[in-house]
Amino acid sequence: MALRKKEGADLREQYPLYVEIGLVLSLALLIVAFRADLSTGEGMQVNMQQQETVDMKQIQQTKQKKKPPPPPKPPVPQEVPNNEVIEQKDRDFDASLDMDQSLGTQGPPPSKNEGEKEEKEVFVVVEQQPKCGGVKALQKKVEYPEFAKKAGIEGRVFVQFIVNEQGKVTSPKVTRGVHKLLNKAALNAVRKLDCKPGKQRGEAVKVQMSLPVTFRLR
């Protein structure tokens, strides 16, 4: 047979009573804690330091000025043939007018000096144009400046000149240039030309001509 505990040794007999007493005490403590006035009577003051104010100013955004476009390049002058004959007339603008002299007593105009030669007119178009060998003959006489070669300067120079009655080149000038070195070399080459004079009605006359001189680096 199973042995049973004595009445004094059974601890679980009063266990429910102890649990109920503990619950009642804990509830009583909670009620007292919620109803207790824990305030000390002195108000808590909080000192707030004044913050620094920042003055925000609106900055105006600057705009970058646009540079104006460069001016357009001038048009390249083009050589236009001129069929008009260039005439040079001597006019005396320094002559003074004598107001005391009567109008009907003027004598004949003074004659020209015997040693003074009348300047002949210069033609642009004649029956027989001067023969100077053309552009090929001119290019053979061109000396390319060394400085222009090293600097890589090249281009085409147009030279205008006059071939007189003896076939010599006179009054050369650059009508369209590239660089002063190339312009000078072109003028020197034109001066070396050997030309046959142009003729009008079988007579040798002065003729105005124009030739291009090309400077090109290979």
Would residue 197 count as lying in a domain? yes
Q: Rounded to two decimals, what is the model's pTM?
A: 0.45
Mean pLDDT score, 56-79: 72
134 or 8, greater pLDDT: 134
Would residue 32 count as lying in a domain? no
Q: What is the pLDDT of residues 28-66, one digit of tens each?
A: 988 888 887 766 656 566 666 666 777 777 777 777 777
Whether residue 113 is predicted with pLDDT greater than 90 in this model: the reply is no
Number of domains present in the structure of the chain: 1
Q: What is the pLDDT of residues 123-147, one digit of tens each?
A: 998 899 999 888 888 888 899 999 9
Would residue 19 count as lying in a domain? no
- In 10 A of CB 138, how many CB atoms? 20
pLDDT of residue 34: 84
Whether residue 5 is predicted with pLDDT greater than 80 in this model: the reply is no
pLDDT of residue 44: 63
What torsion do the CA atoms of 128, 134, 176, 200 make, to the nearest 10 degrees? -10
Burial code (b: 16+ CB inside 10 Å, e: under 16) for 72-86 equals eeeeeeeeeeeeeee
Q: What is the pLDDT of residues 196-210, one digit of tens each?
A: 999 999 899 999 999
> Domain range holding 185?
133-215
Would residue 84 count as lying in a domain? no
Q: What is the pLDDT of residues 161-187, one digit of tens each?
A: 999 999 999 999 999 999 999 999 999
Would residue 137 count as lying in a domain? yes
Would residue 22 count as lying in a domain? no
pLDDT of residue 175: 94
121 or 91, greater pLDDT: 121
CA nearest to 165, candidates 211, 212, 117: 117
pLDDT of residue 16: 82
Would residue 66 count as lying in a domain? no
Indicate the pLDDT class of residue 18, thresholds 50, 70 and 90: confident
Q: What is the pLDDT of residues 149-158, one digit of tens each?
A: 889 999 999 9
Please report which residue ranges of 112-179 form alpha helices under DSSP H.
Answer: 134-140, 146-151
Whichever domain contains 147, its CATH number is: 3.30.1150.10
Indicate the pLDDT class of residue 74, thresholds 50, 70 and 90: confident
CA angle 82, 86, 91 (to 5 degrees): 150
Alpha-carbon span 159 to 142, nearest angstrom: 13
pLDDT of residue 95: 44
pLDDT of residue 133: 85
Would residue 210 count as lying in a domain? yes
pLDDT of residue 38: 67
